[in-house]
């Protein structure tokens, strides 16, 4: 099945044909690790995880090389280290671990490669040197800058021209730059900055600019021209524009054949911002909601459209997912079907149409109910296999229906099972005070015990 993707470069959906189907290359800009990720940061990680799954399904698991970087040297990290008096690696290791644990909670597969910026400094210096040698870069008092006026098609990704940039945007203004849109390739170290953020270079001690980090990691780990570069729309300008400028002027070849951008995530109709106090951290959300509910909510809209993150959206995702797990429960024992995920693959192959793919998941759930109503074992087995295969593509239904109903990990379920059994034992020993104590303890956690002729079962309220 041909995959069609909306390419920001051509501003249209195009047939995706990789340069080499045995090595399909994908890069997504990763986090700057100095604090917790918010749910807007998780959107690209989740939607492009679906792309990763689709590419693996299409070209083979080993044929896709997906790199998502860790930015572990950047101004904000240095500021945090100085402010707290904490060594930089302590900060970056801590928040990289938290980021990866949060994403695992959202069923995001680990990328094939997770390059760290500080492990690729040599390549950053090398690319900067090439740009200086070719006349695309100049040295100023605070560092080495890229001269955007030297590149004929600067601005082609975002459709901005150099004059637009003077109007402001996220471009730092400074007297030392020839043009306001020029950006730092190398920043000289300032007095008092931590040694862990300082490297030698032909121009003086310092650190790389943020944009050159991605250019270098892509060149080192994926190649000069990659198949797909993806990220949030907020990175399109200036970050991705500047990645293109550096890589293409240094290498004389296109940086990426496809550029994909996901839309913004809003909070109850407003922009998410610190000043509005409406920033939702993935870490906190995962304590309040099952990870699959958050994931389903993130995939409920098309990735290119803005997504309004609301309580209703989450409630709806939880209800829908509960219904699908309910259907799966009814066919759970009927294994042996041969999965057919064609409809979901077809939806995703059309520019990652996750709303249609999710509708297909609901249709398969209805089919499971009908098969169970008809007590048709072969049909039930087929419905089970189809549901699980569709779930695999979307990164959903990764739990058993029992785990879903019990709302926890295997360890957590085992702990509650043991308490429920301890209560049964206490009752049999006529130790009713102990039995009641256990019941009350579980009730405090929102767990209800139901006594029936088959014994005691429990559920989470
Ligand atoms: Zn990047």
Alpha carbon of 225 to ligand 1 centroid (Å): 15
Alpha carbon of 230 to ligand 1 centroid (Å): 9
Q: In this predicted structure, what is the pLDDT of residue 169?
A: 55
Q: In this predicted structure, what is the pLDDT of residue 405?
A: 85
Share of the chain above pLDDT 90, in %: 87
The arithmetic mean of pLDDT across residues 399-405, rounded, is 90
Q: Are residues 305 and 444 in the same domain?
A: no
Asked whether residue 165 carries a pLDDT value surpassing 90, the answer given is no
Domain boundary (405, 421, 450) is at 405
Alpha carbon of 69 to ligand 1 centroid (Å): 8
Q: Are residues 256 and 281 in the same domain?
A: no
Q: Are residues 201 and 151 in the same domain?
A: yes
Q: Which residues pair with 453 in a beta bridge?
A: none
Alpha carbon of 130 to ligand 1 centroid (Å): 20
Residue 407: closest CA among 295, 281, 320, 287: 287
Share of the chain above pLDDT 70, in %: 97
Angle, to 10 degrees, between the axis of helix 39-59 and the axis of helix 291-299? 80
List the beta strands (DSSP E) in 155-220: 183-188, 206-208
CA distance 201 to 69: 23
Q: Are residues 214 and 279 in the same domain?
A: no
Q: What is the pLDDT of residues 70-123, one digit of tens each?
A: 999 999 999 999 999 999 999 999 999 999 999 999 999 999 999 999 999 999
Alpha carbon of 169 to ligand 1 centroid (Å): 18
Alpha carbon of 397 to ligand 1 centroid (Å): 31
Q: Are residues 205 and 73 in the same domain?
A: yes
As a whole number, the mean pLDDT across the chain is 94
Q: Are residues 415 and 374 in the same domain?
A: no
Which of 165-174, 209-218, 443-452 reaches the highest mean pLDDT? 209-218
Contact 396/296 with Cβ under 8 angstroms? Answer: yes
Q: Are residues 83 and 33 in the same domain?
A: yes
CA distance 77 to 207: 12
SS (H, E, C) 309-362: ECHHHHHHHHHHHHHHHHHHHHHCCCCCCCCCCHHHHHHHHECCCHHHHHHHHH
Alpha carbon of 435 to ligand 1 centroid (Å): 57
**Alpha helices (H) in 258-310, listed in sequence order:** 282-288, 291-299
Task: Determine what percent of the chain falls in helix, strand and coil, rounding each to the nearest 5.
Answer: 50, 15, 30
Q: Are residues 291 and 204 in the same domain?
A: no
Alpha carbon of 212 to ligand 1 centroid (Å): 8
Domain boundary (227, 262, 297) is at 262
Is omega for the bond preceding 397 within 30 degrees of 0, making it cis? no
Q: Are residues 437 and 292 in the same domain?
A: no
Q: In this predicted structure, what is the pLDDT of residue 172?
A: 62
Q: In this predicted structure, what is the pLDDT of residue 407?
A: 77
CA distance 81 to 212: 22
| Model confidence, pTM | 0.89
Asked whether residue 171 carries a pLDDT value surpassing 90, the answer given is no
Q: In this predicted structure, what is the pLDDT of residue 173?
A: 63
Alpha carbon of 390 to ligand 1 centroid (Å): 31
CA distance 203 to 141: 10
Domain boundary (385, 405, 425) is at 405
Alpha carbon of 268 to ligand 1 centroid (Å): 28
Alpha carbon of 229 to ligand 1 centroid (Å): 9
Alpha carbon of 151 to ligand 1 centroid (Å): 19
Q: Are residues 111 and 191 in the same domain?
A: yes
Q: In this predicted structure, what is the pLDDT of residue 260?
A: 98
Alpha carbon of 160 to ligand 1 centroid (Å): 18
Q: How many domains does the chain have?
A: 3
Alpha carbon of 211 to ligand 1 centroid (Å): 6
Alpha carbon of 241 to ligand 1 centroid (Å): 10
Alpha carbon of 29 to ligand 1 centroid (Å): 4
Query: Which residues span the domain enclosing 272?
Result: 267-405
Q: How confident is the model at residue 409 (pLDDT cuts 50, 70, 90)?
A: low
CA distance 125 to 122: 5
Q: How confident is the model at residue 459 (pLDDT cuts 50, 70, 90)?
A: confident
Q: How many CB atoms lie within 10 A of CB 326?
A: 15
Alpha carbon of 398 to ligand 1 centroid (Å): 30
Alpha carbon of 240 to ligand 1 centroid (Å): 6
The arithmetic mean of pLDDT across residues 364-370, rounded, is 97
Alpha carbon of 128 to ligand 1 centroid (Å): 16
Alpha carbon of 351 to ligand 1 centroid (Å): 22
CA distance 343 to 348: 9
Alpha carbon of 243 to ligand 1 centroid (Å): 7
Output DSSP code: residue 193.
-
Q: Are residues 389 and 419 in the same domain?
A: no
Residue 238: closest CA among 148, 338, 366, 134: 148
Alpha carbon of 242 to ligand 1 centroid (Å): 9
Q: What is the pLDDT of residues 255-273, one digit of tens each?
A: 999 999 999 999 999 999 9
Q: Are residues 209 and 331 in the same domain?
A: no
Distances (CA, A) of 41 to 221, 266, 450: 23, 12, 41
Q: What is the pLDDT of residues 418-442, one digit of tens each?
A: 999 999 999 999 999 999 999 999 9
Alpha carbon of 123 to ligand 1 centroid (Å): 15
Alpha carbon of 461 to ligand 1 centroid (Å): 43
């Amino acid at each position: 099945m041909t995959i069609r993707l909306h390419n920001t470069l051509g501003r249209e959906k195009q047939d995706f044909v990789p340069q080499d189907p045995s090595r399909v290359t994908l890069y997504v800009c990763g986090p700057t690790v100095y604090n917790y990720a918010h749910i807007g940061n998780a959107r690209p990680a989740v939607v492009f995880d679906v792309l990763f799954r689709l590419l693996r399904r299409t070209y083979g698991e080993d044929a896709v090389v997906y790199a998502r970087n860790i930015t572990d040297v950047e101004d904000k990290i240095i500021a945090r280290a100085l402010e707290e008096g904490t060594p930089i690696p302590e900060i970056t290791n801590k928040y990289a671990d938290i980021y990866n644990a949060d994403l695992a909670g959202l069923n995001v597969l680990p990328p094939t490669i997770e390059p760290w910026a500080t492990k690729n400094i040599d390549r950053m210096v090398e690319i900067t040197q090439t740009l200086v040698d070719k006349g695309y870069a100049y040295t100023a008092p605070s560092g080495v800058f890229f001269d955007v006026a030297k590149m004929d098609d600067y601005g082609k990704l975002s459709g901005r021209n150099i004059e637009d940039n003077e109007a402001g945007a996220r471009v730092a203004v400074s007297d030392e730059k020839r043009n306001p849109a020029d950006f730092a390739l190398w920043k000289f170290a300032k007095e008092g900055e931590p040694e862990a953020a300082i490297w030698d270079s032909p121009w003086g001690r310092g650190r790389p600019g943020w944009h050159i980090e991605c250019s270098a990691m892509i060149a080192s780990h994926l190649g000069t021209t990659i198949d797909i570069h993806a990220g949030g729309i907020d990175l399109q300008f200036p970050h991705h524009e500047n990645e293109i400028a550096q890589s293409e002027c240094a290498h004389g070849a296109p940086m990426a054949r496809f550029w994909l951008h996901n839309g913004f995530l809003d909070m109850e109709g407003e922009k998410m911002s610190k000043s509005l106090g409406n920033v939702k951290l993935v870490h906190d959300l995962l304590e309040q909601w099952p990870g699959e509910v958050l994931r389903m909510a993130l995939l409920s809209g098309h990735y290119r459209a803005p997504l309004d993150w609301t309580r209703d959206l989450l409630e709806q995702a939880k209800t829908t997912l509960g219904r699908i797990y309910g259907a799966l429960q009814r066919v759970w024992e009927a294994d042996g079907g041969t999965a057919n995920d064609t409809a979901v693959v077809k939806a995703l192959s059309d520019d990652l149409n996750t709303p249609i793919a999710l509708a297909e998941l609901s249709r398969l759930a209805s089919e499971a109910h009908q098969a169970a109503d008809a007590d048709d074992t072969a049909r039930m087995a087929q419905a089970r296999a189809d549901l699980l295969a569709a779930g695999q593509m979307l990164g959903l239904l990764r739990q058993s229906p029992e785990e879903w109903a019990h709302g926890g990990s295997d360890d957590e379920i085992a702990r509650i099972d043991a308490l429920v059994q301890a209560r049964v034992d206490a009752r049999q020993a006529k130790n009713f005070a102990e039995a009641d104590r256990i019941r009350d303890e579980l009730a405090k956690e929102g767990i209800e015990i139901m006594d029936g002729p088959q014994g005691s079962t429990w559920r989470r309220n």
